[in-house]
Structure 1
Amino acid sequence: MSTPQRLELPWREPIVVARQLDGDNGLIWLDGDGSDLGRWVTLASQPQEVIHCRGLPGDTEARDPFAALKGLGPGHWSGWLSYEAAAWTEAGNPWSRDAMASLWIARHDPLLRFDLQQRQLWIEGTNPAAMQQLAARLQQTAPIPPAPPTIPLEAWHQHTSREGFADGVRRIRALIAAGDLFQANLTACCSTNWPSDASAVELFQRIRHQCPAPFAGLVATGNGEALLSSSPERFLQVDPTGRVETRPIKGTRPRHSNPDLDADMAAELVCSDKDRAENVMIVDLLRNDLGRVCIPGSIQVSQLLGLESYPAVHHLTSVVEGQLQPGLNWVDLLRACWPGGSISGAPKLRACQRLQELEPTSRGPYCGSLIRIDWNGRFDSNILIRSLIRKDRTLRAHAGCGIVADSDPDGEAEELMWKLQPLLEALA
């Protein structure tokens, strides 16, 4: 594939351009919050090629999503990989069946790129005629957006009650006390009807306005499936030289409108023995995962227990880096690390087994990744937390908490709502 060209355009906010593409098949919006981690935004629709996989090993016509990723040709690719794709890497574990595609990924050419810090916008692509056609389309008058529908808080059906979640915490604590686990990330789900007149773009705009995040994104496939994410967590990044970075998040406190109380919440998080231990445990797990495909001695923890603050929550984030072994690429890394340690537990496979027993619904894309392969082969991905999932007429929202030996069941149930409530309120 030839090197992509650039066609500069006058600056416009991403939401203005997204509204002009709204309704197109295969719409992707890789969003950011304007920070150094979230500086860039990518928008595209009407892909040249789409690959999707469904089902579990043994199903008729099921396809290994990691093998499909290995076969990708050159170009710019983006989409999602679901949590249950782990059935193809660890077939010995039980995995829930989800109706969503385990892999949906598309190649777009051309696409739009935004630099939020420099307020620059341009078209990238390898087909000059298609780039000009897109530029001409964007010169047309932007449509008046429909009033986004509201989803009342009481419209959400909780698949796990507050007490049910607290009971799950107690059961995980008992497993830890018995030596079965060290840590597990227990999740819960609620669902409602997808509003009949809803635009995925407008719903995502409300989420990104209230919950901006550096690794956010929207994927609307055009066949009744969509993903809306305000994730603050990078899973894996691999640059063209094979340099790897992962940024696990463990430890959360809510923000407060009072600056003094907000500072107290941040200090409490930084000083929490429980949250620090949980974060360090996952850092160790990820160092082990990276060690399966990285050069021995190359793995380093460049940030341990750093405080990162977002509009709704404070987090503890660590950064682990390494260098891929010669001959291996991002797919080998993804397979070695799947599913992410921060949303599974330790030991990972045992934690996944216990979580499958405790959680009443499958996760699907939630706790999977929004992935992107750039023109030059650079790979980036998030952990799909703080995410909403559409399947036909159903909209799902998930959240989870990392459980360790001294977790307080009622406190973890409260933390679950810190994470879930901003998403639900954004739509209400």
Structure 2
Amino acid sequence: MSPPRHREPLHHPLPWRDPWPLVQALAAELGREGLVWLDSDGSAQGPCSRLGLAPLEQRICRGLPGEARARDPFALLADLAAGGGHWMGWLSYEAGAWVEPAPHWQSPDMALLWAARHDPVLVFDHGSQQQWLEGQDPGRLSSFAALLERLDLGTAPASQPPAAIAPASWHWHTPPERFADQVEQVLAWIASGDLFQANLTACCEQQLANPADPLELYGRLRRSCAAPFGGLAVAGAAAAGEAVLSASPERFLRLDGTGQVETRPIKGTRPRHQHPDADADAAADLVTSAKDRAENVMIVDLLRNDLGRVCLPGSIQVPQLVGLESYRQVHHLTSVVRGQLGDGLSAIDLLRACWPGGSITGAPKIRACQRLHGLEPVPRGPYCGSLFRLGADGQFDSSILIRSLLLRGQRLRAHAGCGIVADSDPAAEAEELGWKLQPLLEALA
């Protein structure tokens, strides 16, 4: 494989326009299939949003090692990086089978990897209210700029809003009482020394009466669940009918132009409250919780080890350990781990070394994956995987796909999970599962 061909993109500045109406108008003009909208909330963690439509090509991987026509998604990503271009898409949790086959992973029915190459990409800097096109082909850059100039946001055809989905109508694969029993099992493994921590997840689903427009569904989600690493990916080609809708607050991995790596694991959550005193009490309870701090610190240690496989010796730092970050629906404890990528290594080497993410597996990571496989009745698919962008300049950014909805045809799934440690309470973890899912389900109600 040849080394990646990194090229600085061309830029075409544009006048500022409100991002979401522009996304809707461009989707009406160019179609939904292949659309990727990396929808940041304008915070320090998510200052810029990016939109790609009408991709020049789409690539897909399905299957696990040993299955017919299966292909290593990390090898494909390395090939895409070597070829240049700006790629965005998702990587499913079960891609871990290509890193460590021992857990006997379940094969998801959504794409293991779906990636699309867009040229140009529309970029929005929310803080400075600057907007520009970024690409490699001057002709395409000019053509897209001309399209934007003549595009009238007031003439986009109104689409039929999706029918409301009652929260009580969702079917649980693991009901809350069963989830509490599973927490008891994880606690027994922890007590025996088999595990230190595990991120146990549950899934509910809805069979829609009619095909849904993922853009309209996502519009509902973003209105109530804005997040630094939100986004929408609507697959086309061989993955047509599949879409990921995310309101994730969690960065997985970022690689900048200087080779600096950053990961921002989240462990520890409390719901927000409308009354200021109750909200402050919830935040204080989280900050002083020994259980939540232990969860977070264990995952920081795990990620320091993962980054140490590919970063320069002595470069790993933790500039923020167990810091409070508050979002519209929840308070979180977030840590920040940084390092300097080793010479000659790429974003894909980094991704493979850290996959799957420590915050959504447990410690020890591989043993946690093995144990979780035996408890969770359906594959996670893109949930707990990553929504990512791989730039033509070699830079990389990605989220952990929590707080996310998965659409496949007329089936809509929502997942949530909880970190289990030695002093976890099964009933409290089942309750936490409910209020983590509540904002997603209420957004569609």
Partner of 2:165: 151
Whether the aligned pair in 1 keeps the contact of 2:211 and 2:410 (CA below 8 Å) is no
Deviations 1:147-172 (A, max 9, x none): 42122213311111110011110000
Return 5+ residue gaps in structure 2 as ranges: none
Whether the aligned pair in 2 keeps the contact of 1:19 and 1:145 (CA below 8 Å) is no
**1:19 is the counterpart of 2:24:** yes
Deviations 1:208-235 (A, max 9, x none): 1101110111100131010000100001
Of residues 156, 160, 168 in structure 1, which corresponds to 2:174? 160
Whether the aligned pair in 1 keeps the contact of 2:85 and 2:136 (CA below 8 Å) is no
CA–CA distance in structure 2, aligned partners of residues 18 and 365 of structure 1? 23
CA–CA distance in structure 1, aligned partners of residues 356 and 424 of structure 2? 23
Whether the aligned pair in 1 keeps the contact of 2:211 and 2:409 (CA below 8 Å) is no
Moved more, 314-323 or 15-24: 15-24
**1:140 is the counterpart of 2:151:** yes
**1:59 is the counterpart of 2:70:** no
- Residues 137 and 199 from structure 1, CA distance in 2 versus in 1: closer, same or farther, beyond 3 angstroms? farther
Of residues 417, 425, 431 in structure 2, which corresponds to 1:408? 425
Of residues 141, 151, 158 in structure 2, which corresponds to 1:131? 141
Whether the aligned pair in 2 keeps the contact of 1:113 and 1:121 (CA below 8 Å) is yes
Partner of 1:199: 213
Query: How much has 1:306 moved relative to structure 2?
Result: 0.3
**1:112 is the counterpart of 2:117:** no
Count of aligned pairs between the two proteins? 428
Partner of 1:30: 38
Query: How much has 1:3 moved relative to structure 2?
Result: 4.2
**1:312 is the counterpart of 2:329:** yes
Of residues 318, 333, 336 in structure 1, which corresponds to 2:350? 333
CA–CA distance in structure 2, aligned partners of residues 243 and 135 of structure 1? 33
CA–CA distance in structure 1, aligned partners of residues 181 and 373 of structure 2? 15
Query: How much has 1:195 moved relative to structure 2?
Result: 5.5
Map 1:281-320 → 2, pairs under 5 A: 281-320=298-337
Partner of 2:9: 4
Query: How much has 1:197 moved relative to structure 2?
Result: 5.0
Whether the aligned pair in 1 keeps the contact of 2:9 and 2:392 (CA below 8 Å) is yes
CA–CA distance in structure 2, aligned partners of residues 410 and 55 of structure 1? 36
Partner of 2:131: 121
CA–CA distance in structure 1, aligned partners of residues 211 and 360 of structure 2? 33
Query: How much has 1:118 moved relative to structure 2?
Result: 1.6
Partner of 1:43: 51
Cα RMSD between the aligned structures? 1.4
Deviations 1:51-99 (A, max 9, x none): 1100010111100001101111212111111100000010122101111
Whether the aligned pair in 1 keeps the contact of 2:347 and 2:394 (CA below 8 Å) is no
- The aligned amino acid for 1:8 is P
CA–CA distance in structure 1, aligned partners of residues 22 and 144 of structure 2? 11
CA–CA distance in structure 2, aligned partners of residues 31 and 57 of structure 1? 33
Whether the aligned pair in 2 keeps the contact of 1:157 and 1:191 (CA below 8 Å) is yes
Percentage identity across paired residues of the two chains: 62
CA–CA distance in structure 2, aligned partners of residues 334 and 310 of structure 1? 27
Map 1:252-291 → 2, pairs under 5 A: 252-291=269-308
Partner of 2:85: 75
Partner of 1:181: 195
Q: What TM-score do you get using the length of structure 1 for normalisation? A: 0.97
CA–CA distance in structure 2, aligned partners of residues 78 and 347 of structure 1? 30
CA–CA distance in structure 2, aligned partners of residues 267 and 57 of structure 1? 46
Query: How much has 1:240 moved relative to structure 2?
Result: 2.3
Q: Alignment partner of 2:248: what SS?
A: coil
- The aligned amino acid for 1:335 is R
Whether the aligned pair in 2 keeps the contact of 1:344 and 1:352 (CA below 8 Å) is yes
Whether the aligned pair in 2 keeps the contact of 1:194 and 1:390 (CA below 8 Å) is no
**1:346 is the counterpart of 2:354:** no
- The aligned amino acid for 1:41 is S
Moved more, 162-171 or 15-24: 15-24
Whether the aligned pair in 2 keeps the contact of 1:98 and 1:363 (CA below 8 Å) is yes
CA–CA distance in structure 2, aligned partners of residues 295 and 44 of structure 1? 34
Return 5+ residue gaps in structure 1 as ranges: none
Deviations 1:222-253 (A, max 9, x none): 31010000100001111122211110000000
Query: How much has 1:31 moved relative to structure 2?
Result: 0.8
- Residues 132 and 325 from structure 1, CA distance in 2 versus in 1: closer, same or farther, beyond 3 angstroms? closer
Query: How much has 1:415 moved relative to structure 2?
Result: 0.7
- Residues 195 and 387 from structure 1, CA distance in 2 versus in 1: closer, same or farther, beyond 3 angstroms? farther
Query: How much has 1:320 moved relative to structure 2?
Result: 0.6
**1:232 is the counterpart of 2:249:** yes
CA–CA distance in structure 1, aligned partners of residues 56 and 443 of structure 2? 33
Q: Alignment partner of 2:296: what SS?
A: helix
Deviations 1:167-203 (A, max 9, x none): 1100000111111110000000011124625321121
CA–CA distance in structure 2, aligned partners of residues 402 and 256 of structure 1? 22
**1:372 is the counterpart of 2:389:** yes
